[in-house]
């Protein structure tokens, strides 16, 4: 297929930072395809800071869409009908004018192969009615559109207005009938920046247009903190963390503002699964305190699907991955399997999705009631 963004030569690709060259990468919410990289929207907290790609404002392709889909579906981490997939969620916006034809090419290619995997498309951009009609013709993949909305009006942090995503969500949610699902992706929530009662009320009103809502905080990594400091931006926290930050009092205020809602979730996979009437594919049901926001029908779905694997079963699944040879199962409880011996997070996500059960790394213990978030802003850090 013709490329609508410039296609890099092999020599140019070879000069990219290591992680940028990794076109297929397992991230927490799914296997992520990123052969288009570069974004002009300039959100100060962009994850591109951590890939050495911040300066890349013009989207460019590392390969053709056909080659990229082939690389995705032949990847050892890809399991047909099982692995959740995310398209262009790391380095560009899938609905940028130059990027969207690639987005359609990938989605339609995956769909034509008969896969029923979840596919997540996250955008803050404008989406047109005709594009939604085209998305509605997708038959097999379970497509979810997540509209990133923060309500932040400090142009130094987020130059591209959140109101665009709000309008796109309303348009996408209003189409009837439709096969794709819509999520209000309410993030990043930052105390003092976008958490007044008015902000919370506006987000609640907006959530009524979505099939489900997820709220979450900011990934405040070292590279992002350095950018904030160098540019004199108001720093959200005095410290950085490997997990997303959502302070306890903010969470309580969000829950209070959404007391009437039956479709608010802490986890992206929970919202996506709920929107499709399926159990959570990340097995969060084991983390019981996560589910206090969930409607009873969804709880029942997840409860029925919840089954702790045996150590033998975990090893059996891990055998497909050479990099998991050193895997050790440290503990298995109703909450999660705890493993060690994995150098990176990617094989752990593979196990988690294959088993539909939480798999934690012994090096990074999860704290009760913290929902896999950073410790910043929480009083009690007892595991």
The token pair at 297 is 């029908």
Minimum CB distance to ligand SF4, residue 293 (Å): 6
Closest CA to 361 of 341, 335, 339, 383: 339
What residue has token string 């099982």? 82
The token pair at 322 is 């050479």
CB 254 within 8 A of CB 282: no
CB-wise, 236 or 286, nearer to ligand SF4? Answer: 286
Minimum CB distance to ligand SF4, residue 355 (Å): 14
CB-wise, 147 or 274, nearer to ligand SF4? Answer: 274
Minimum CB distance to ligand SF4, residue 356 (Å): 10
The token pair at 138 is 């997708």
CB 86 within 8 A of CB 110: no
What residue has token string 């007391």? 259
Alpha carbons 300 and 116: distance in angstroms, whole number: 23
Counting every residue written for the chain, the total comes to 383
Closest CA to 37 of 17, 57, 19: 57
- HEC profile for 103-167? HHHHHHHHHHCCCCCEEEEEECCCCCHHHHHHHCCCCCCEEEEEEEECCCCCCCCCCCCHHHHHH
Minimum CB distance to ligand SF4, residue 288 (Å): 8
Minimum CB distance to ligand SF4, residue 255 (Å): 13
Binding site for ligand SF4 (CB under 6 A): 265, 267, 270, 273-274, 280, 284-285, 290-291, 294, 298-299, 302
Minimum CB distance to ligand SF4, residue 310 (Å): 21
Minimum CB distance to ligand SF4, residue 213 (Å): 13
CB-wise, 265 or 357, nearer to ligand SF4? Answer: 265
CB-wise, 51 or 281, nearer to ligand SF4? Answer: 281
CB-wise, 69 or 270, nearer to ligand SF4? Answer: 270
CB-wise, 172 or 293, nearer to ligand SF4? Answer: 293
CB-wise, 327 or 355, nearer to ligand SF4? Answer: 355
């Amino acid at each position: 297929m013709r490329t609508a963004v410039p296609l890099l030569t092999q020599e140019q690709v070879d000069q990219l930072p290591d992680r940028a060259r990794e076109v297929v990468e397992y991230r927490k919410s799914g296997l992520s395809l990123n052969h288009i990289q570069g974004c002009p929207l300039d959100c100060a907290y962009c994850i591109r800071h951590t890939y050495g790609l911040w300066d890349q404002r013009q989207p460019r392709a590392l390969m053709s869409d056909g080659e990229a889909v082939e690389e995705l579906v032949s990847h050892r981490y890809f399991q047909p009908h099982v692995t959740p997939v995310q398209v262009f969620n790391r380095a560009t916006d899938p609905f940028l004018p130059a990027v969207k034809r690639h987005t359609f090419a990938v989605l339609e290619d995956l769909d034509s192969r008969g896969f029923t995997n979840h596919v997540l498309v996250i955008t803050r951009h404008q989406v047109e009615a005709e594009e939604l009609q085209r998305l509605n013709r997708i038959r097999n993949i379970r497509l979810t559109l997540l509209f990133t909305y923060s309500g932040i009006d400090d142009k130094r942090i987020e130059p591209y207005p959140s109101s665009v995503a709000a309008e796109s969500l309303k348009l996408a949610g209003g189409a009837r009938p439709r096969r794709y699902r819509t999520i209000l992706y309410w993030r990043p929530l930052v105390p003092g920046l976008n958490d007044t009662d008015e902000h919370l009320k506006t987000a609640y009103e907006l959530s009524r247009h979505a099939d489900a809502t997820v709220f979450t905080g900011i990934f405040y990594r070292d590279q992002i903190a350095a950018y904030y400091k160098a540019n004199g931006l108001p720093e959200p926290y005095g410290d950085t963390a490997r997990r997303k930050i959502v302070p306890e009092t903010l969470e309580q205020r969000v829950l209070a503002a959404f007391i009437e809602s039956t479709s608010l979730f802490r986890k992206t996979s929970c919202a996506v699964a709920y929107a499709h009437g399926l159990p959570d594919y990340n097995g969060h049901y084991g983390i019981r305190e996560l589910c206090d926001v969930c409607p009873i029908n969804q709880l029942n779905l997840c409860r029925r699907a919840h089954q702790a694997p045996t150590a033998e079963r975990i090893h059996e699944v891990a055998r497909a991955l050479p990099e998991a040879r050193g895997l050790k199962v440290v503990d298995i409880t109703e909450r999660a399997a705890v493993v060690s011996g994995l150098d990176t997070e990617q094989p752990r996500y593979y196990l988690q999705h294959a088993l539909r059960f939480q798999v934690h790394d012994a090096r990074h213990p999860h704290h009760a009631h913290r929902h896999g978030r950073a410790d910043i802003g929480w009083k009690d850090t007892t595991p």
